Amino acid sequence: MSTLPTVGHLIDGKRVDGGSRSQDVFNPATGKAEKRVLLADKTTVELAIANAQEAFPAWRNTPPLKRARVMGNLKVLLEKHADELCAMITAEHGKVLADALGELQRGIENVEYASYVPELLKGEHSKNVGPAIDSWSEFQALGVTAGITPFNFPAMVPLWMWPMAVACGNSFILKPSERDPTSALRIAELALEAGLPPGVLNVVNGDKESVDTLLQDPRVKAVSFVGSTPIAEYIYAEGCKHGKRVQALGGAKNHAVVMPDADVANAVSALMGAAYGSCGERCMAIPLVVAVGDAAADAVIAGLKAEIAKMKVGPGTAPGMDMGPLVTKPHFEKVKAYVDQGVKEGATLVVDGRNLKVAGHEDGYFLGPCLFDNVKPGMVIYQEEIFGPVLGVVRVKSLQEAMDMIDAHEYGNGTCIFTRDGEAARYFTDNILVGMVGVNVPLPVPVAYHSFGGWKRSLFGDLHAYGPDAVRFYTKRKTITQRWPSAGVREGAVFSFPSSK
């Protein structure tokens, strides 16, 4: 019998148990299990759905300004409890505390944007579209909505979803990653403290059984997902099959183009953080550098080698660390196998992080930064999303060759170009087939009042996450056309289709 603390669910404003299965939650820096998370069964998820459905009518009819005030209160509470939340994130994910704080801050910005919802929900009105006829549109809440979120941003990605969903008048069920569940639960409790009524936000921890229940239950009207492309494709197909609105953000393989005229020193600094920050476990990470010309490639490789040698890798709670461990032992083994595969396929392993040992944390899931040169399309390490601290350099002869390579890849999440040439930058941003593009910015993640999403097999669905698209995703437009005939005036029947002619 396990004596580890148990992480349950939050339903109708209360912590509850539910489900006969559970699994360990590990501290990646030590390799030791520190708690167990209960995996919700179908009955538990259906209880959450029922509570969300019951809470919806009153919340939908709550004035938007009052809903916005809850978001304002939540922002203050998240800032107040930032240290507590970041400690939770680091203990379960492994990222360094500074990175956890950056993640949380980005989530808080989305909460702040959701507090503008009275303005965002204003409809459109036209007077006298016909004789004494007025027309207007409204954005109405959908009902019970749900979000399924990944391990790599346990606080930020949930805050991409449910704050805007509930600000728009919906109720919400969050299914966070079972690998690092506690920060999402704690934030939901802070939302209650901020004034969110019980049942409006419910959190269920679980696995495929929980996900399938959310996808199949007709009471759930919309589902948001962030994760790998195979799962995103499944979520999208299964949710649509059951008549739901679905946005499913999938994987990525982001390329950074370095032009011959680039400021190499600044490009190298930017690439270090983009490739190795959060141990590479970001869908917006840069795992591939496409260097235009051998001179640019050689300079980038030399710069990266020098910077990697200075990196400090260790537990995320230790001061001054640049990179922590990977999230789980199976993921560590998977990423390490990708490095083995790259060597086998003939790429040049310039920096080998496979034998890194962190004193006092020998059982932690630490992989040092790895750097490949001479990576080529067709190699597994070029094609597949590694999600680890592995950076590959591809050599090409022209910008067009680089762009053709990027456009040919199945993913189109993010990309960037390092250059001093405005013409090259403009051509690149105008023509590249990727959803988020940076110019001398390696992680072009949109701020909260824009929207996040890729192209091709990085996104299934028409609307991007958070920002203005979130308002459209979590509401339905209703258009009303109204006429009040003058008293005592009787008009004859009109059989032609109405028009304003």
What pLDDT does 25 receive?
97
Of 107, 213, 210, nearest in space to 163 by CA: 107
Of 17, 22, 16, nearest in space to 37 by CA: 22
Residue with tokens 């001093």: 420
What pLDDT does 501 receive?
67
Instruction: Assess whether 223 and 304 both reside in one domain.
Output: no
- How far is CA 495 from each of CA 492, 498, 499, rounded to the nearest angstrom? 10, 8, 12
CATH number (domain holding residue 170): 3.40.605.10
Instruction: Assess whether 281 and 227 both reside in one domain.
Output: no
| 37 occurs within a structural domain | yes
User: Which candidate in 86, 168, 279, 283 is catalytic?
Assistant: 283
Instruction: Assess whether 191 and 281 both reside in one domain.
Output: no
pLDDT in tens, 225-274: 999 999 999 999 999 999 999 999 999 999 999 999 999 999 999 999 99
Instruction: Assess whether 383 and 404 both reside in one domain.
Output: yes
Q: What type of residue is 281?
A: E
Instruction: Assess whether 426 and 467 both reside in one domain.
Output: no
Instruction: Assess whether 352 and 277 both reside in one domain.
Output: yes
Instruction: Assess whether 319 and 179 both reside in one domain.
Output: no
Which range marks the domain in which residue 405 is found?
Answer: 255-439
Averages of pLDDT over runs of 10 residues in the chain (501 residues) are 87 95 97 97 98 98 98 98 98 97 98 97 92 92 98 98 98 98 98 98 98 98 97 98 97 98 97 97 97 98 98 96 97 98 98 96 97 98 98 98 98 98 98 98 94 96 95 96 81 76 67
Number of domains in the chain: 2
Residue 195 burial (10 A CB sphere; 0-12, 13-18, 19+): middle
Other C-beta atoms within 10 Å of 383: how many? 12
State how far the Cα of 125 lies from the Cα of 477, in Å rounded to an integer: 13
Instruction: Assess whether 43 and 173 both reside in one domain.
Output: yes
CATH number (domain holding residue 417): 3.40.309.10
What pLDDT does 500 receive?
65
Find all residues with CB under 8 Å of 135, minimum gap 6, and list them: 125, 126, 129, 479, 480, 481, 482
Give the 3-state secondary structure of residue 127.
Answer: strand
Instruction: Assess whether 240 and 282 both reside in one domain.
Output: no
Tell me if residue 283 is catalytic: yes
